[in-house]
Amino acid sequence: MNTVNFNMAIDKATNHFDTLNITDKETNIIKELFAVAYEERKIKSTSIGTRERNIVETNACISNVILKHFPFPLRIISNILGKHHATIIHYRKLHNDCLAYDKQYIKLFSMLNDKVNDLLMEMEGDVEEYKYRDCSQEQLISELRSTILSLKVMNSNLKEKLYTIKEQGYEKRDTPCNSIL
């Protein structure tokens, strides 16, 4: 993808940030999120504001990373993305669905989380401590993230099985004994 189109997409998505009531530090971190996400997902400027799956999932990922790392109300997050606050609520559900089934989405979410953590550490001045922390701690965190994702997939599968069982239960109610109410 050509760099001009990529930069245009970022500019188009973030050109209203100066009107938001957030700090410069937060603005820079969030702009970096857009840059990383749009580059990873190869978002074009013509996709901004559309309902294309790629841009919707990317925005859902960005909004959920912001929800995780910043104490913003939905109104601020919706203003950041230029969406209605109900869209951000929808993005939460979409996020959970994508975590259960989409490996590329999981990769993007992990990448954005790591990016925010790195930027927050740099801005807090704890870079040296962060770089030299125990490798086993990083390995443990990685394993825990992997376990969480697999548990989410298992939970989703169990929900589907429960739904199937409930459907079968409703079909059995058509017998004469169960239909008397």
Q: 46-100: per-residue pLDDT in tens?
A: 888 899 999 999 999 999 999 999 989 999 999 999 999 999 999 999 999 998 8
- Please indicate, yes or no, whether residues 65 and 108 belong to a single structural domain of this protein: yes
Query: Percentage of the chain surpassing pLDDT 70?
Result: 83
Name the domain boundary from 129, 150, 165: 129
What are the Cα distances from residue 154, in Å, to 61, 64, 81, 100, 145?
A: 21, 21, 31, 8, 14
- Please indicate, yes or no, whether residues 144 and 122 belong to a single structural domain of this protein: no
> What is the number of structural domains in the chain?
2
Residue 80 CB neighbour total at 10 angstroms:
27
- Please indicate, yes or no, whether residues 42 and 124 belong to a single structural domain of this protein: yes
Give the range among 7-21, 33-47, 61-75, 136-150 with minimum mean pLDDT.
136-150
Q: Does 79 map to a domain?
A: yes
- Please indicate, yes or no, whether residues 143 and 89 belong to a single structural domain of this protein: no
Residues 6+ apart with CB under 8 A from 62: 30, 33, 34, 37, 81, 112
pTM of the predicted model, to two decimals? Answer: 0.66
Summarize the confidence of residues 142-150 as an average pLDDT.
79
- Please indicate, yes or no, whether residues 106 and 156 belong to a single structural domain of this protein: no
Give the pLDDT score at 143: 78
Res 181 pLDDT > 60: no
- Please indicate, yes or no, whether residues 41 and 100 belong to a single structural domain of this protein: yes
- Please indicate, yes or no, whether residues 99 and 140 belong to a single structural domain of this protein: no
- Please indicate, yes or no, whether residues 149 and 80 belong to a single structural domain of this protein: no
- Please indicate, yes or no, whether residues 96 and 157 belong to a single structural domain of this protein: no
Domain that holds residue 101: 3-129
Higher pLDDT, 157 or 84: 84
